[in-house]
């Protein structure tokens, strides 16, 4: 048996079932171990604490599979974990019948480094840790058996894999790679999802509930959607009866798919929709120079701070777009602003937005705090899993 021995006192976080063991907490490893191997975690006093995946190149030296040291980590373990994750979602009425759904959400489902999203009969799998990578085939088989989906496609091309010493890995694990974007229906709107080349697993499923809420508030409003990607918020605004929707993104490919999404829903020739390829930071200033103003502004940028070490630089970027977004809002207008940066906690994000409002010379009332949907749960033992933060404010 290979054992990972902790330094004295470093077992306390495991008693609270926090799943990460950092390199600084490790005294030594007894026995031969390879990348991704399962080890038994021991306290300095010799108490067995559980089973974990070993990652020698990562600052997170091990991730806990189980806090039961007697549990066997094998194919049956992963099938059981996947089945439990899927069952939890099936038990929630608001998630039943969704074409696009997160089936496995990493640590919150007891599977560190594993993300699985379902789009119709296709599951897109991301493996972001050495342990998850080691058990690729078992995890893919478990997803196929539990869901009955005909296709499992891997998109393990995230930057975080480099921190684990892992190369990118993409391609079909079951069935053929889709030749065309997949089609899903979300809140009454059809979306094309490019699972092969798109961001993340092809779509931002975590914003499902927030897109619905925005649509409910869009009737009769002039809407500006920044970092629109393939038009997620834009199309819900159009469905909700927006007077006009201007969508900005720097990616011509994303905008091309957004326009196809508009056409798919019968809005190809809708005079309410305008799509503009632009750098959002400069475009916000240009819109002010043009004298434009809006009733609702959406700011949903990419991840500015993957870790707390990037927080200071990211804070400046979040404040810049919030400041200029607020200056484009008419009195009574709504700001939907988001951060998907794990290095920016909610309290800091609120302070950043408050500072932007002060500098913009406007008073903002906070109407609602937003987060990811219920298929993206957060374990109370692992608060680091709460990455998506959103604020809705009214000028």
List residues with catalytic annotation.
340
- Indicate if the alpha-carbon torsion angle 325, 210, 230, 223 is positive or negative: negative
- Indicate if the alpha-carbon torsion angle 258, 263, 265, 271 is positive or negative: positive
Q: What is each CA distance from 334 to 178, 210, 213, 294, 337, in whole angstroms? A: 39, 14, 12, 9, 10
Which strands make up the sheet holding 294-299, listed edge to edge?
A: 273-277, 244-249, 222-226, 294-299, 329-339, 389-394, 365-370
Q: What is each CA distance from 235 to 199, 269, 391, in whole angstroms? A: 18, 13, 20
**Rounded distance, CA 31 to CA 2, Å?**
5
Instruction: Report CA 253 to chain centroid distance, whole Å.
Output: 21
The two tokens of residue 357 are 């409002």
Q: Residue 203 in 3-state DSSP?
A: coil
**Rounded distance, CA 74 to CA 132, Å?**
12
**What is the CA angle 72-74-77, rounded to 5?**
80
Which residues on neighbouring strands pair with residue 249, listed in sequence order? 277
Terminal C-alpha separation, the chain: 62
Roughly what angle, to the nearest 10 degrees, separates helices 208-216 and 232-239? 30
């Amino acid at each position: 048996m290979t054992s990972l021995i902790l330094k004295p006192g470093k077992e306390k976080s495991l008693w609270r079932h926090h799943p990460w063991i950092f390199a600084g907490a490790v005294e030594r490893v007894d026995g031969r171990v390879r990348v991704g191997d399962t080890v038994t975690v021991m306290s300095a006093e010799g108490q067995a604490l559980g089973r974990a995946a070993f990652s020698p190149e990562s600052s997170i030296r091990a991730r806990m599979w189980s806090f039961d040291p007697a549990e066997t980590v094998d194919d049956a373990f992963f099938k059981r974990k996947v089945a439990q994750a899927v069952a939890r979602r099936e038990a929630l009425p608001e998630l039943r019948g969704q074409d696009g759904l997160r089936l496995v959400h990493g640590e919150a489902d007891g599977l560190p480094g594993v993300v699985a999203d379902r789009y119709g009969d296709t599951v897109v799998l991301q493996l972001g840790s050495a342990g998850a990578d080691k058990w690729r085939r078992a995890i893919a088989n478990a997803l196929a058996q539990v869901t009955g989906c005909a296709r499992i496609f891997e998109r393990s091309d995230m930057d975080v894999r480099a921190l684990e010493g892992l190369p990118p890995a993409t391609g079909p694990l079951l069935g053929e790679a889709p030749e065309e974007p997949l089609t899903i229906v979300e809140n009454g709107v059809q979306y094309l999802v490019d699972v092969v080349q798109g961001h993340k697993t092809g779509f931002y499923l975590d914003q499902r509930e927030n897109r619905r809420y925005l649509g409910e508030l869009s009737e009769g409003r002039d809407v500006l959607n920044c970092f629109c990607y393939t038009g997620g918020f834009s199309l819900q605004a159009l469905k909700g009866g927006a007077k006009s929707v201007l969508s900005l993104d720097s990616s011509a490919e994303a905008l091309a798919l957004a326009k196809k999404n508009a056409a798919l829903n019968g809005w190809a020739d809708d005079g309410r929709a305008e799509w503009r390829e632009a750098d959002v930071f400069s475009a916000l200033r240009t819109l002010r120079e043009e004298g434009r103003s809006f009733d609702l502004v959406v700011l949903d940028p990419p991840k500015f701070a993957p870790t707390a070490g990037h927080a200071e630089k990211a804070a400046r970027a979040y404040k810049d777009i919030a400041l200029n977004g607020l200056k484009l809002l008419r009195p009574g207008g709504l700001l939907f602003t988001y951060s998907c940066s794990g290095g920016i906690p909610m309290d800091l994000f609120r302070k950043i937005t408050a500072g932007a409002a002060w500098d913009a010379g406007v008073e903002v009332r906070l109407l609602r705090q937003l987060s990811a949907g219920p298929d993206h749960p957060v374990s109370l033992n692992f608060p680091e899993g709460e990455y998506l933060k959103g604020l809705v404010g009214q000028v």
